């Protein structure tokens, strides 16, 4: 493996980290925007305007460029080492990447709605929606690290168990917040 491959791989990982950071934080900003929308004036307008600016900067300066660069460097790595495409773990990983890209597009739709003061979801829905990239992150990291040693049945069951634990944690947190 020559140094150029390692540089490309490093850049791919860096942009994956910043992409996930953007996805995690943008949905938190959605939660805050939705909650600000329910406040009385002038608090509603002051918070709303500031949160719109923060969301716009995060989305357009960090998250979108990070996604584009992570995918670009990932494709470049696959071009250099095309044998990876035939490995089962890579094929499954790419399915998760496609799901993450769909998630990004759904976030973009919500971003545009909130930028136009259109609220279609509750803050609780957004908190739950924010767990999707967490599940994808866990799945991809375990796939990449463990590769062929993963028993696909146990891995799939493990992801579902983790999702159920997240849901239970979400419900407990919701009850605590409502008290």
Q: Summarize the annotated binding site for heme as residue ranges.
A: 12, 93
DSSP class of 61: I
Is 136 in contact with 70 (CB distance < 8 Å)?
Answer: no
Known binding residues = 12, 93
Which residues have CB under 8 Å from 91's CB, separation 6+?
A: 85
CB distance 58 to 22 below 8 Å: yes
Output the six-digit token pair for 92. 């499954």
* Cα angle 36, 32, 47; round to 5: 45
């Amino acid at each position: 493996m020559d140094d150029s491959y390692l540089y490309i791989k490093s850049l791919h990982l860096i942009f994956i980290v910043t992409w996930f950071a953007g996805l995690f934080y943008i949905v938190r900003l959605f939660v805050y925007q939705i909650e600000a929308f329910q406040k009385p004036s002038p608090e509603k307008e002051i918070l709303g305007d500031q949160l719109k600016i923060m969301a716009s900067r995060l989305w357009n300066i960090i998250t979108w460029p990070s996604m584009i660069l992570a995918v670009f460097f990932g494709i470049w790595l696959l071009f250099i080492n095309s044998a990876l495409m035939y490995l089962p773990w890579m094929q499954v990983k790419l399915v998760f990447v496609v799901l993450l890209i769909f998630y990004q597009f759904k976030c973009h739709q919500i971003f545009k709605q909130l930028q136009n003061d259109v609220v279609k979801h509750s803050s609780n829905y957004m908190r739950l929606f924010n767990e999707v990239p967490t599940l994808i992150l866990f799945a991809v990291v375990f796939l990449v690290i463990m590769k062929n040693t993963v028993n696909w049945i146990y891995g799939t069951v493990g992801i579902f168990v983790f999702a159920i634990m997240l849901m239970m944690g979400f419900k407990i947190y919701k009850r605590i917040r409502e008290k």
